[in-house]
Amino acid sequence: MTLMVRQSLRRLILGKAKQNPSCAILQLPVEMILLVFEHLPEYERIILAQTCSSLRVIFIDNYKAREDDRHPISSDRLEVDQRSRFLFTMAYRRPNIFGCHLCTKTHRVNQRDTPGSSTVDYKGCRQPFLTGGDFHQGGYTLQYQQAQLALKYTRLLEEEGNGGPVLRRKYKAYLDSLMQPYSKVLASRKKWGMSNEIRGVVVVLPKIVDGRLLMQTVWVFKKSTKDVSPEAIGWLHVCNHLILFAPQQIRDQTRARMLQGPRGALELAIHASFRTGERKFGSCSYCETDFMILASSERTVVRAWQHLGAEAPLVDNGSWKWMTIYSRESLGFHSQPGSIRELYNRDAV
């Protein structure tokens, strides 16, 4: 930075500082402000530069001469992860927009975009740079932007209760739609699925606790013309890692190998509950899922409690990614066994 430019910046900052003495950062020398910029991630530098004209002049003058992928001065030049964080921050207090993890742009909220609805076409959403993965459970589908909007509106409502800005009624109604419970009668399937000789229903109950999105899913199987059994239940998917496979779905050798490792926890618990008639609790070793099983030939209940993460850009939300995208057995993102169930049931009567 040339001496003349430095002097001009000092005069500009001094003038702004006199106009607004409460702005602490403008009281600092230019060199110290530049040190602050240097210690910030790229996307935070751009956000800080947008807060006032003085900081923007400093930012552009310092980085324009050496603009490259390491020193972008525009959000369009940010790498995908940094741009995702930039969009998330820019939309953080705005209920009418969200940062799209697919096209890395902002979109206006469409209140028809609810869990289980047909996919809403957001204008301008191009080929995705990131795969977000949807949360699927018993016919219920939750997309990432829906989860994040529910978390945002819940936070804004809490801020409103503490004297913050009032959240408009239409967004409160939209939050109710996003958090609506879901239920479905299970259909029998000839191949791998539930037998037509028993009856089944699944209920999905979303809940937000301490800024984290939790999900409880309940499967209930009842005797019809024949007793309930693991074979009659067939294929049951609790998470990407815990699956009860139908007898004809995998080979005996594969099943035996699976039962010796963490992936066999669900099937072992189901068989143990059928033998003893007692509740059996367990958890996934690769994602944040707890489960409970109470089994009998008359009625069998399977419950799963899952943590889908906090309000964050997808790139920083390991809970969501391990629940929806990753199924491999390495580098799991699991929680203390029983902790998700306890968190969901906290304050329950």
User: pLDDT tens digits for 312-348?
Assistant: 999 999 899 888 876 555 455 677 899 999 999 987 5
User: pLDDT tens digits for 211-253?
Assistant: 999 999 999 999 999 999 998 998 898 998 888 876 655 666 6
HEC letters along the chain: CCHHHHHHHHHHHHHHHHHCCCCHHHHCCHHHHHHHHHCCCHHHHHHHHCCCHHHHHHHHHHHHCCCCCCCCCCHHHCCHHHHHHHHHHHCCCCCCEEECCCCCCEEECCCCCCCCCCCCCCCCCCCCCCCCCCEEECCEEECHHHHHHHHHHHHHHHHHHCCCCCCCHHHHHHHHHHCCCEEEECCCCCCCCCCCCEEEEEEEEEEEECCEEEEEEEEEEEECCCCCCHHHHCCEECCCCCEECCCCCCCHHHHHHHHCCHHHHHHHHHHHHHHHCCCEEEECCCCCEEEEEECCCCEEEEEEEEEEEECCCHHHCHHHHHHHCCCCCCCCCCCCCCHHHHHHHCCCC
pLDDT at residue 123, as a whole number: 66
Average pLDDT in the chain: 83
pLDDT greater than 60 at residue 16: no
pLDDT at residue 5, as a whole number: 42
pLDDT at residue 117, as a whole number: 73
Mean pLDDT over 290-310 rounds to 97
Question: What pTM does this model have?
Answer: 0.85
Domain borders along the chain are 3-77, 177-345
Per the model's pLDDT, the better-predicted residue between 263 and 258 turns out to be 263
User: pLDDT tens digits for 180-200?
Assistant: 999 999 988 776 678 899 999
pLDDT greater than 50 at residue 127: no
Q: Which has the minimum average pLDDT: 10-19, 39-48, 58-67, 70-79?
A: 10-19
